[in-house]
């Protein structure tokens, strides 16, 4: 167990020191000066105070020399402690920098980890542990600061041990024994904190989600219309009570330990005064030496305590920090190849006997799906909700890997391709697409550094340009009012057009519309699909719907049902199929399309 803690501490310390060296090398110079000043400050009083006292109390006292000694002692201590305080404040400015840096790294990794992990319970728990680990550890600054504090106290300790051992060695033994007891108690308290942290991660994730639901305006309409506020508050109260129960449990466990620790500290102070008082009364030490040893004993105790508690604190903080490190080293869920994709806009895709069940489930969403999509072809994928249409697209985009069978791009298994290159092949508008609370132009360009004017042709292609130019700041107008009171809330149809404009701007060779217009009526949906098809030009296109909006201008139609392709062909072929799924859907919806 001790080796494991030591390894965790070293791992976290190496990580923190590496981060500091990479981003703020000056931190080490400031820390080195601070260590020297902090270590030297107590010795000004330890060395000069007894001389000053003896000068004043002696029969032939020299008041002039005593005044000079007092001034030197006060001035020296003020300079050392003042410089140390300034350096400490300067170093503390780095705390927010490294906390934010590590939080940014978590966010960056969250955006790049395999998509399948975004629905994996263990991965979600680790993300939460990483974020809490940063907060509970205090980040790189707190761990590095703890290390330098220990170093400073080691220097102090060596000095005061020399002073005490030469005059009152028994004092050193007594303080050392009591500190060992105090360290043991503190170790027990740290273990309670660490165990609590591990349990709290899951509880806190649920608590934060419930609170987020209450705060997020996404749920505002439903909460009001369905009078759900009482239910939400009840859930929040349940989770709050659960959190409070855990806090109370921890405090009850720590209370006897805190009481024992206070008793040990009182015993130490009492023993120190009694022992030194006996030496002074019996004439074995002068009043000046009494003062020196009292100060040295206090410094000995504080230094030893700082070293032991500091080491334990680093071990505890390292445990939290290692949760961050674990997430940064989280293993990928999918193998990534290195094969380069041929530099052409012409690509052929084939599903061969593909079956798939979502992680941690045994229900197959797709079963033995086989289909070929030629370059430049329009494919309409239709079927009722839950038939597997969106899952088909997620596998095509390699957000998940198939369980069996294979997906081929130009005759090569997509697992063998460079992952980032493969992702660039697709422009997709999902039914649950998201716009960002950034400017209208940023929602199209997505921060690629290009001039905002480059978004205008795509606003025009999707019929949004007049709307965008009418906004208060044009293309620089913020979407939503989350961060800007002058932000705008576009209508559902306008948001869909913006998502389509974003897909067109990417200019990928394969474009996909996955029911982003499901909330529209069939005729409006048809117009969107038709307009999008005209804009796509000669690219390969896949249109997903449970209605038949996209079928008229597609070469082939794949009808999904019960997780597989039940029917495949042209509109004319399928509509004439006796008792066919497509024919039945067409008859039911024909009023909209005839």
Q: What is the mean pLDDT of each run of 10 residues along the chain (594 residues)?
A: 67 91 94 91 80 72 77 87 90 90 90 86 87 89 93 88 78 78 82 74 69 64 70 77 81 86 81 76 77 78 82 87 91 89 86 92 91 92 86 92 94 93 90 87 84 89 88 89 84 86 90 73 69 81 78 86 92 89 83 60
**What is the reported pLDDT for 74?**
85
Cα–Cα distance, 307 to 148 (Å, whole number): 10
At which residue do the structure tokens 């576009």 appear? 490
**What is the reported pLDDT for 594?**
58
**What is the reported pLDDT for 149?**
92
**What is the reported pLDDT for 549?**
65
pTM for the predicted model, two decimal places: 0.71
Q: How many residues does the chain have?
A: 594
**What is the reported pLDDT for 59?**
64
**What is the reported pLDDT for 215?**
63
- CB of 509 within 8 A of CB of 425? yes
**What is the reported pLDDT for 102?**
92
Provide DSSP, 1-62.
Answer: -HHHHHHHHHHHHHHHHHHHHHH-THHHHHHHHHHHHHHHHHHHHHHHHHHHHHHHHSTT--
With left for phi above 0 and alpha for psi between -120 and 50, is residue 582 left, alpha or beta?
alpha
- CB of 417 within 8 A of CB of 337? yes
**What is the reported pLDDT for 140?**
92
**What is the reported pLDDT for 353?**
95
Cα–Cα distance, 386 to 377 (Å, whole number): 25
Residue 452 CB neighbours (<10 A): 15
**What is the reported pLDDT for 392?**
93
- CB of 354 within 8 A of CB of 402? yes
Task: Give the strands of the sheet with 540-545, arranged side by side.
Answer: 426-430, 510-514, 540-545, 378-382, 556-561, 564-569
Domains of the chain: 2-328 (1.20.1560.10), 349-435+510-593 (3.40.50.300), 436-489 (no CATH)
The string over 363-385, giving b where at least 16 C-beta atoms fall within 10 Å of a residue's C-beta and e elsewhere, is: ebbbbebebebebbbbbbbbbee
**What is the reported pLDDT for 4?**
60
**What is the reported pLDDT for 295?**
81
**What is the reported pLDDT for 556?**
92
Cα–Cα distance, 457 to 505 (Å, whole number): 9
- CB of 471 within 8 A of CB of 506? no
Structure tokens at 231: 């239910």
């Amino acid at each position: 167990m001790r080796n494991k803690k030591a390894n965790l501490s070293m791992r976290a310390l190496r990580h923190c020191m590496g981060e500091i060296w990479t981003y703020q090398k000056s931190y080490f110079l400031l820390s080195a000066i601070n260590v020297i000043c902090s270590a030297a400050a107590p010795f000004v009083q330890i060395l000069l105070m007894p001389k000053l006292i003896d000068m004043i109390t002696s029969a032939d006292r020299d008041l002039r020399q005593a005044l000079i000694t007092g001034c030197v002692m006060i001035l020296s201590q003020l300079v050392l402690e003042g410089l140390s305080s300034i350096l400490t404040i300067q170093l503390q400015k780095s705390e927010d920098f490294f906390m934010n840096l590590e939080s940014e790294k978590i966010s960056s990794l969250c955006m790049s980890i395999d998509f399948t992990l975004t629905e994996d319970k263990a991965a979600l728990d680790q993300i939460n542990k990483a974020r809490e680990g940063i907060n509970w550890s205090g980040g790189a600054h707190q761990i590095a600061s703890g290390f330098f504090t220990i170093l400073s106290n080691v220097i102090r300790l060596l000095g005061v041990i020399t002073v005490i051992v030469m005059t009152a060695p028994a004092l050193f033994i007594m303080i050392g024994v009591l500190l060992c007891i105090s360290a043991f108690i503190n170790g027990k308290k740290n273990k309670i904190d660490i165990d609590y942290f591990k349990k709290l991660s899951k509880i806190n994730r649920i608590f934060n989600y419930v609170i987020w639901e209450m705060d997020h305006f996404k749920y505002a309409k439903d909460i009001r219309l369905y009078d759900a506020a009482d239910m939400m508050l009840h859930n929040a109260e349940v989770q709050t009570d659960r959190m409070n129960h855990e806090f109370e449990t921890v405090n009850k466990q720590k209370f006897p330990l805190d009481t024992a620790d206070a008793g040990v500290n009182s015993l130490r102070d009492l023993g120190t005064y009694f022992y030194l008082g006996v030496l002074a009364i019996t004439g074995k030490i002068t009043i000046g030496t009494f003062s020196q040893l009292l100060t040295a004993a206090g410094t000995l105790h504080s230094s030893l305590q700082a070293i032991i508690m500091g080491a334990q604190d680093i071990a505890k903080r390292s445990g939290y920090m290692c949760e961050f490190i674990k997430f940064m080293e989280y293993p990928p869920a999918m193998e990534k190849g290195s094969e380069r994709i041929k530099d052409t806009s012409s690509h052929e895709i084939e599903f061969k006997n593909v079956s798939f069940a979502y992680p941690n489930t045994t229900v197959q969403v797709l079963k033995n799906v086989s289909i070929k999509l030629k370059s430049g072809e329009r494919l309409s994928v239709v079927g009722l909700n839950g038939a597997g249409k969106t899952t088909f697209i997620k596998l095509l985009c390699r957000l998940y890997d198939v369980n069996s069978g294979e997906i081929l791009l130009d005759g090569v298994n997509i697992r063998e391709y460079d992952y980032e290159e493969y992702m660039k092949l697709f422009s997709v508008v999902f039914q649950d697409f998201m716009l960002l609370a950034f400017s209208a132009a940023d929602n199209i360009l997505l921060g690629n550094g290009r001039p905002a004017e480059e978004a205008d042709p795509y606003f025009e292609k999707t019929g949004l340009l007049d709307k965008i130019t009418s906004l208060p700041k044009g293309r620089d107008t913020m979407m939503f009012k989350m961060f800007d009171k002058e932000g705008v809330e576009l209508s559902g149809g306008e948001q869909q057009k913006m998502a389509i404009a974003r897909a067109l701007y990417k200019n990928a060779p394969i474009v996909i519309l996955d029911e982003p217009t499901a909330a529209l009526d069939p005729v409006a949906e048809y117009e969107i699909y038709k307009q999008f098809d005209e804009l796509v030009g000669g690219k390969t296109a896949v249109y997903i719907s449970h209605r038949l909006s996209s079928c008229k201008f597609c070469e082939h139609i794949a009808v999904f049902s019960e997780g597989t392709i039940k029917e495949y062909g042209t509109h004319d072929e399928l509509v004439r199929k006796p008792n066919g799924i497509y024919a039945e859907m067409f008859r039911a919806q024909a009023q909209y399309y005839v």
